[in-house]
Amino acid sequence: MRLGVLDVGSNTVHLLVVDAHPGARPLPAHSHKAELRLAELLDGQGAIAPAGVERLIATVADAVRVAEDKGCEEMLPFATSAVREASNADAVLAQVKTETGIDLQVLTGEEEARLTFLAARRWFGWSAGKLLLLDIGGGSLEIAYGIDEEPDAAVSLPLGAGRLTAGWLPGDPPETDDVRTLRRHVRAQIARTVGEFTRFGRPDHVVATSKTFKQLARIAGAPGSGEGLYVQRFLGRAALEEWVPRLAAMSAGERAALPGVSEGRAPQLLAGALVAEGAMDLFGVDALEICPWALREGVILRRLDHLPEE
């Protein structure tokens, strides 16, 4: 069957169209995305402003038209931290449903972590052993650990690259004191959770998903997207530690000129690097592998698990 997965995230609204069947890997058929940056469209009370709601509705309606054009039999629409944490989330969700017919399901942070972990487990398989997963989104950082398809521990922290950039790094390039203050904040937040995971022992394999990790791995020397989906890509902590001060000294425009870094994501890359560096350091990770599958694939796989066998 052809499924459309509509991901309303903090940075983008992404429709992924896949051909999927129980027992088979989902095959991407089409990708449609729009940069909305919902996390930056909140007013002083933490609500999504009217202009932002209008843009969200228009973007969702456009995605629905694309899904229909591509022959999707079913839509799997979900929203993450930007909508989840908006003070007017219920009203926004109701308005989206009224005007587009799409009933966005808001995932909790823990659900995000668990579904992303499922995708990583299916990608790497049982031979990967105990997995530690890190995922940096626009609004939050997800961490999960386990040996099965359901993680033994899963948490979500408000350490997304977009959120931190907007709240902590106003300069371009940022002030040195602002970078140092954000670094302390990030590490204090992550340190509170480390014990929840280390009690299970050291992982056999550490993996990371998200655009932030992919871009950091790329600038640190990993193969580009043109090399294909199945090429292994790694990010080492030593290389990342060398890049953090370099990124801090760059403007957003200079970061956008780096290999694999998009103009839209460039302003957030430093904050994402500080989160990645802090997580790898505090969890004692020397290197991690980039996983091509993430939350959207986890949502697809969970849906397929509940389809009857033909």
Least confident of 14-28, 62-76, 124-138: 14-28
**286 vs 10 pLDDT, higher one:** 286
Strands 234-236 and 2-8: unpaired
In the chain, residues under CATH classification 3.30.420.40 are 2-106
Task: Give the CA distances from residue 9 to residues 2, 26, 39, 59, 189, in Å, rounded to whole numbers and listed in that order.
Answer: 22, 21, 9, 12, 22
Q: Positive or negative, the Cα torsion across 235, 236, 237, 239? A: negative
Contact 300/15 with Cβ under 8 angstroms? no
Q: Which residues contact 132 (CB under 8 A, 6 or more apart)?
A: 143, 144, 145, 197, 203, 205, 206, 207, 283, 285
Specify the pTM.
0.95
- pLDDT category at 41 given cuts 50, 70, 90 is confident
Domain 2-106 in this protein, CATH class:
alpha beta
**Helix, strand, or coil (residue 27):** strand
Cα 73 to Cα 154: distance, rounded to the nearest angstrom: 32
Q: pLDDT (tens digit, 9 = 90+) per residue, 178-193? A: 999 999 999 999 999 9
Tell me the pLDDT tens digit for each residue of 54-106.
Answer: 999 999 999 999 999 999 999 999 999 989 999 999 999 999 999 999 999 99
Cβ(149)–Cβ(114) below 8 Å: no
- Residue spans in the chain of domains classed CATH 3.30.420.150: 109-295
Mean pLDDT over each residue of the chain, to the nearest integer: 95
Exposed, middle or buried, 230 (CB in 10 Å: 0-12/13-18/19+)?
Answer: exposed
Is CATH 3.40.920.10 correct for 109-295?
no
Cα torsion angle, 206, 210, 214, 215, sign: negative
